Amino acid sequence: MRTPHPTRRRSRAPLAVAALLLAATTLAGCAGAAATSGDDEPSVAPGAALPTQVPSGTTLVVGDPTTQKAVALAGDEIDSHVDFDLQWANVSGGPATTEAFRANALDVGAVADIPPIHATWTGLDVRIVAASYREDWQENPIYEFGIRPGLPDVTSLEDFRGKKIAYSPGQAQGALVLRALKKAGLTEKDVTLIELPSTGDVYPTALAAKEVDVAPIGGAQIARYVDQYGKDGAHTVQHGLRDDPSDLYAPTSVIDDPAKAAALREYVRVWAQAKLWVADHPDEWREGYYVKDQGLDEKDAQYLVDHAGVPDLPADWTEPIARHQETIDLLAKATGNEPIHAADIWDERFAPVIAEAADAYRKANP
């Protein structure tokens, strides 16, 4: 255990998204969480080095519940000291995060790689400031395609032709459906896309009720679905595609604010170390997060730990940006939106900061 930092700032209690949005509405016209105080305020020029000095009184509002829990569980096993007031917000998922950004109620949020694309298409100027993947993504995919009972011959992506597929536009699962169709040489005309939210147990329930034939399911739902409905013929099909992006993104107004940018620079260091700590402490994470915090039973919690994969925090974002561009082009074609340049929504100045933090953690924890 490391010696505690005597100057460690205490983070405030989590803020519910409704409370955040209410506060933002009440304070309309004033400086919000992600706003500067006026046009005459100093800003960080595009391409300039990130500020390193955090002014006294700076606050960063963060919607990143898993990192919040990892920091609490790790304690002084990671260097989570920050020189700003870290305020955790109980916000997760693309829609809620984007809504909080628009209300100036949030400075940075944790999502997959689809929400920044759709935020940009809806006129919200955002940047990706951190990215994590899985080294062993082929062995440990996040999603598999659940197949409803009664379709034993559906054993590959090509067999999706003519099937009803659950589809959630604007979310990672929806993009995965489109990518799977492309890989199989199919188009949207070859299947019937059924728009359903990918929240909770909606997809497994729709499969069991035969409302859809195919649906992307993830996490513990994969094992749970087969355990529960396998006797009736339910099974899954693996897709062989990368589905592992885990990003932080922020409004450009946050990054353009020197105080916020410096705070965000410190936060991504904590985020990187937390990712690695979780991978190094599967038992603590299973019990402290999945069981006690999320309320999962031991079997589901163990499944998630066993399939978490090895975190990959690339120091060079060239390949991630190229993969993101492929996703953007596919979604643009499907939605009718104009393609955007992926590199324009990645702030690569944060990449070496994350790499340095990861290297420091590994040296301290060989």
Residue 176 lies in a domain: yes
Q: Where are the alpha helices (DSSP H) in 191-236?
A: 202-208, 220-229
Confidence of residue 7 (pLDDT cuts 50, 70, 90): very low
Taking each helix axis from N to C end, the angle separating 351-364 and 258-280, rounded to the nearest 10 degrees, works out to 40
Say how far apart CA 123 and CA 340 lie, in whole Å: 12
When divided into structural domains, the chain yields a total of 2
Asked if 214 contacts 163 with a C-beta cutoff of 8 angstroms, the reply is yes
If asked whether residues 102 and 77 sit together in one domain, one would say yes
If asked whether residues 227 and 256 sit together in one domain, one would say no
Give residue-wise pLDDT tens across range 285-336: 999 999 999 999 999 999 999 999 999 999 999 999 999 999 999 999 999 9
If asked whether residues 24 and 89 sit together in one domain, one would say yes
What pLDDT, on the 0 to 100 scale, is given for residue 366?
A: 87
If asked whether residues 266 and 317 sit together in one domain, one would say yes
What pLDDT, on the 0 to 100 scale, is given for residue 72?
A: 97
Q: Tell me which of 206, 237, 268 is where a domain ends.
A: 237
If asked whether residues 77 and 160 sit together in one domain, one would say no
Say how far apart CA 21 and CA 16 lie, in whole Å: 9
If asked whether residues 206 and 88 sit together in one domain, one would say no
- Domain residues for the domain of 149 are 143-237
Residue 1 lies in a domain: no
If asked whether residues 256 and 284 sit together in one domain, one would say yes
Asked if 220 contacts 308 with a C-beta cutoff of 8 angstroms, the reply is no
Residue 2 lies in a domain: no
Confidence of residue 162 (pLDDT cuts 50, 70, 90): very high
Residue 4 lies in a domain: no
Lowest mean pLDDT among 25-29, 166-170, 277-281, 347-351: 25-29
If asked whether residues 115 and 259 sit together in one domain, one would say yes
Query: Quick check: 35 pLDDT over 80?
Result: no
Confidence of residue 15 (pLDDT cuts 50, 70, 90): low
If asked whether residues 174 and 302 sit together in one domain, one would say no
If asked whether residues 249 and 345 sit together in one domain, one would say yes
| Composition of the chain by helix, strand, coil, percent to 5 | 45, 15, 40
Lowest mean pLDDT among 12-26, 89-103, 117-131, 315-329: 12-26
Mean pLDDT of 150-177: 95
CATH number of the domain at 43, please: 3.40.190.10
Query: Going edge to edge, which strands form the sheet with 164-167?
Result: 192-195, 164-167, 214-218, 143-147, 235-237
What pLDDT, on the 0 to 100 scale, is given for residue 93?
A: 87
Q: Where are the alpha helices (DSSP H) in 103-212?
A: 115-121, 172-183, 202-208
Confidence of residue 27 (pLDDT cuts 50, 70, 90): very low
Closest CA to 236 of 221, 253, 255, 256: 221
Residue 46 lies in a domain: yes
DSSP 8-state class, residue 338: P
Residue 5 lies in a domain: no
If asked whether residues 225 and 263 sit together in one domain, one would say no
If asked whether residues 210 and 252 sit together in one domain, one would say no
What pLDDT, on the 0 to 100 scale, is given for residue 13?
A: 46
Confidence of residue 199 (pLDDT cuts 50, 70, 90): confident
Q: Which residues of 77-92 are buried (b: 16+ CB within 10 A; e: fewer)?
A: bbbbebbbbbbbbbbe
